[in-house]
Structure 1
Amino acid sequence: MELLIGYTSDSGSESEYEEKFVITASEGGDKRVNPLKRAGKLSKTELKRRRLQRKSKGPWGSWSSSDEEDNSTNGFRSESSSNSISGDKNIQYREDEDNDGKEDEVPLEDETSTLYDTQYQDKKFRRNLLTPLKDIDIDLYKPALSFKCYLPKRIVHTFDGHIDGCNTLKFLPKTGHLFISGGNDDTIRLWNFYGDKKCVRDYKGHSKALKTLTFVSDGSSFISSSFDQTVKVWDTEVGKVTKRLKFKSIPNAIDSRPLDNGNEFIVGLSNSKIMHYDIRVQEKNGLVQQYDHHLSSILALKYFPDGSKFISSSEDKTVRIWNNQINIPIKQISDTTQHSMPSLDIHPSENYFCSQSMDNSIYSYSMKPKYKRHTNKVFRGQKSSGYGIGLTFSPDGHYICSGDIRSKILIWDWTTTKLLKTITIPGKKPLTQIAWHPQETSKVLCTGVDGKIYMLD
């Protein structure tokens, strides 16, 4: 066939490719031209530009040292990094390092906070939100596993919540006399669990819906992430932002390292990377490590109670366990039949962790090597496919509780895996967030797409 004459597989040699195919009349040729040749003769500058454009930085890109030299003309740094590898993957890492984690450019006046409950002020008008009011008739400092819990039976109160849905819900650590929520109205609200059960303080500083929230270990501050691709660290009492981070992708998950007073936290991004920050470090805006072994968007992050390790879940249908600040997973939990797991939680005994799976099941894993799955502790009965349905444990570890896309709350016995209770919530919309009070025997909060927050007892 005529078209195959002079065929070459070198995609980078376009000038040679044209010389073999174009035969001019002055050379005595038959004026045959390559049908793939573009009209007009390209300059050397244009040929070089097109060669660089064709070079891929994806998983099929070249790994030779010459690619690093070519890509250096695209504006990437050429110096090596101790945390990166050679080739195009190294270049991609440097790009992320340059673009992710920069200071947010949102003006400070766009970040506001209002205190509504004046009973949380002393005579000198100093805020004391972290101290429970004296009229609460329950010990709020009991250690976990020290008291027996019971099944909630019905809805006893409904909080106003958020317009168009609530996306995250967390109790204040240890005491639980306050809880925090974030929703699609771009607002964070701190609620009084006791007394008048109204909003104590709100925090406004994100331009899009809230994605997730987490308190630091002592509750003095909390970290928020939003669909506006920012992460902010807030002072709980005064409502001031103490740290701002801007990313190129959505921060889907965050968690603060326990026993560290909020100095270290991790952020899971939709570009499959986990970024580790330490606010005590000035260089690189506090970035101390990047974990990049996942292949798809990060869904959930959870630290071990001692802060030595953390668990990550991703849309690549794997769960990985990492040592703190070491970019090599010590365990990858994966299976050909495994589904994505958008929620993680740790049992109060600290011997197990559970994951909510998209196949309408909750799976249990050991928190000790070999971190294996316990096939006799699988909880079924809920519908969770298509939504990030949360789960929670009772403080005594005897019950495990889950939301449902059918507007239901399901509670199982941890020992027997038997479904004990199903409570239907008004609204007929998915319940994605659920939390058991850390000091109460039978009080549970739940919320979801409806936006209202329900208290069960």
Structure 2
Amino acid sequence: MFEKDDSANINQLMQKSSAPDVDDAIFNHYDPNKVALNEQISSFSCSSTAFDLNYNSQNKNISSRKPYKGAEFYQKQEVDFENLNLHIGEKKIKVSPKKSKYNYIGPWRKDQKEKVITENIIFRTEEDFGEVKNLESEFNDDSQESDADDSLAGEKHAESTFLGKERTDYQNRSWIISPNEIKERNSNEQCYASKKLIKVIRAHSLGVQAIRFIPKTGHLLLSAGLDSQIKIWSSDSKCIYIYHGHKNAVRDIQFSNRQRNCKSFYSCGYDKQILFWDAEYGKTKWKMSNDKTPYCVSVHPKNEQSIIVGFSNKKAIQYDTRSSEVVQVYNEHQGAVNTVTFCEDGKKFVTTSDDKKMFVWDVGIPIVVKHIADPLMQSMPYVALHSDGQHLVCQSMDNKILVYDTHANYRCIKKRFTGLKNSGYAIQCDVSPDGQYIISGDINGKVHFWDWKTTKNFRSFNAHEGVSIGCQWHPIFPSRIATCGWDGTIKIWE
């Protein structure tokens, strides 16, 4: 507010002082005819508008400005509003660089004064946009297919190669069906020990881990290799099918049943997968993965959909391949479960482990029926059921083969088969169909024959270079056996 007694010249005041703030200035009197000016002042106090009092031409050193209660105000003087040239304008908002970071477009922003040169601009046609849309649709389809492939990665990986001439013969019978001229073995037929080598099969690029004759007829031979492949061989030593399903070495293989024309089998490997195969068409029916390595797979003798797998995490897990669910978990061992063997017509099963113990279980009940342990007992990495279904033939790590009687409360009988070296390896052993002979491999590449009654090692010969890991007696021919080793070969003896 300007005092009435102040006679200062308004022109000198405007030269010495800057424009006063309307908020701080209180006017004692004003021309009532200047209604428009009054409205503009009220508008400024409400909406923060600005007006020009020739601010740029004035001296900014204000001598009449005095502090008042921490704030500055201008000296009250009388102003002649008629001679003042007031220009009311809009407020110019300036945004600081800190607050304008979200409004920053980038170095490619065109200057407001920059002229656009259209000589080098490429204009897209409708055909180009059509190609882009096609590429986008193809990309979306590929992404959807990739998502589906991730869920079915196992199935896509489990491909097989058929190497036979034809899948069916002139009578439209599948290649896996046994010929009519092959008759099943007579129960009274006597077996004999093999003497000479008749066939050599270069089966796998790496070692052969396991071999299995097809049940009842034996006209096909299944082999599992350390090269992650599973192959099936005909009676004339020709490979018919190669099953590509595992990524690492295959540990164990088992046919799903004991029928004449079995068309499926199970496999487990060091890639932590258990696969259920359709042997006829080379496809996987079922797959299960686990965080631990499966060491063995055993099929229930009366239900091919029920299996029990021994794992390296001290557990034996029962699966039902029809539902892909865990049926039961048997967890009592203190070491990796090496073998699972069904006995007593599928009512019970026996497990052996690295903890040097043998447990007997009832199928479906996770409670141990019988603990078998002894201070002198060693780990048993392979167990075979005798042909009579009463005895368990166990490969012991102390260079012996022990026998347990299932009908005598699983007592270890006095039979001891010695003369081999198996320490540190899961050497397989087998029993002749008539139960008269025991055969086993050796870490030195030998094959041994024992008489069941006398436990005498009456024959042994060199079969493979390195470890002779597996052997099996032919289900029909009385003196024919097959052996496999880590030299990658399968040999047929008779």
Q: TM-score, normalised by structure 1?
A: 0.72
Q: Deviations over 1:303-331 (max 9, x none)?
A: 12621111111000011111111111212
For 1:212, the aligned partner's letter is D
2:339 is matched with which residue?
300
* Conservation of the 8 A alpha-carbon contact between 1:116 and 1:200: yes
2:158 counterpart (111, 116, 119): 111
Cα RMSD between the aligned structures? 1.7
Unaligned ranges ≥5, structure 2: 1-149
Hey, what does 2:203 align to over in structure 1?
A: 161
Q: Secondary structure at the match of 1:109?
A: helix
Superposition deviation, residue 405 in structure 1: 0.7
Q: CA deviation at 1:230?
A: 0.6
What letter matches 2:431 in structure 1? F
Query: Which residue matches 1:343?
Result: 382
Per the alignment, residue 19 of structure 1 pairs with none
Q: Find the aligned partners of 1:105 and 1:115 in 2 and give their Cα distance.
A: 22
Provide closer, same or farther for how the CA distance between residues 372 and 198 of structure 1 changes in structure 2, counting only shifts above 3 A: same
Q: CA deviation at 1:189?
A: 0.2
Moved over 3 A (4+): 123-126
Q: Distance in 2 between matches of 1:183 and 1:197?
A: 16
Q: Which is bigger in relative contact order (C-alpha 8 A, separation at least 6)?
A: 1
Match of 1:187 in 2: 229
Indicate conservation of the 8 Å contact 1:221/1:234, yes or no: yes
Q: What amino acid is aligned across from residue 355 of structure 2 in structure 1?
A: D
Q: Is the 8 A contact 1:127 1:238 kept in 2?
A: no
Partner of 1:48: none
What CA distance in whole angstroms lies between the structure 1 residues aligned with 2:232 and 2:224? 9
Cα 1:299/1:115, change in 2 over 3 Å: same
Query: Is the Cα–Cα contact under 8 Å of residues 104 and 230 in structure 1 kept in the other structure?
Result: no
- Please state how far the C-alpha of 1:274 moved relative to its aligned partner: 0.5
Superposed, 1:46-445 pairs within 5 Å as 106-118=153-165, 120-123=167-170, 127-129=174-176, 131-134=177-180, 138-139=182-183, 141-142=184-185, 145-192=187-234, 194=235, 196-217=236-257, 218=259, 219-260=262-303, 262-280=304-322, 282=323, 285-304=324-343, 306-375=345-414, 377-427=415-465, 429-445=466-482
Contact 2:301/2:346, CA 8 A, preserved across alignment: yes
Number of residue pairs the alignment of both structures matches: 342
| Paired amino acid for 1:411 | F
Is the contact between residue 464 and residue 484 of structure 2 (CA under 8 Å) also seen in structure 1? no
* Aligned-residue offset at 1:146: 2.5
SS of residue in 1 equivalent to 2:339 = strand
Q: How many Å separate the matches in 2 of 1:294 and 1:355?
A: 18
Q: Against the structure 1 CA distance between its residues 104 and 111, is the aligned structure 2 distance closer, same or farther, given a 3 Å change threshold?
A: same
- The 3-state SS of whatever aligns with 1:180 is strand
Residue identity matched to 1:181: S
What SS does the corresponding residue of 1:431 show, helix, strand or coil?
Answer: coil
Counterpart-to-counterpart distance in 2, 1:343 and 1:364: 12
**Contact 1:362 1:379 survives alignment (8 Å):** yes
Deviation of 1:109 after TM superposition, in Å, equals 2.2
Tell me: CA distance 1:329–1:107, structure 2 relative to 1, closer, same or farther (3 Å).
Answer: closer
Give secondary structure in 2 for the equivalent of 1:368. helix
Distance in structure 2 (CA, Å) of the matches to 1:237 and 1:109:
17
Moved more, 377-386 or 322-331: 322-331
The one-character-per-residue Cα deviations of 1:170-210 (angstroms, maximum 9, x if unpaired) are 11111111110111111100111x2x321111110111110
Map 1:4-19 → 2, pairs under 5 A? none
Matches within 5 A, 1:29-40: none
Q: Distance in 1 between matches of 2:201 and 2:453?
A: 33
C-alpha displacement of 1:242: 0.7
Give the distance between the partners of 1:274 and 1:104, measured in 2 at CA.
27
Whole-angstrom distance in 2 between the partners of 1:286 and 1:230: 15
Cα distance in structure 2, aligned partners of 1:177 and 1:327: 38
Q: Matched residues in 2 for 1:431 and 1:104: separation? A: 39
> What residue ranges of structure 1 are gaps of 5+ in the alignment?
1-102
Which structure's CA Rg is the greater one? 2
TM-score (norm 2): 0.67
Deviation at 1:351, TM superposition (A): 1.6
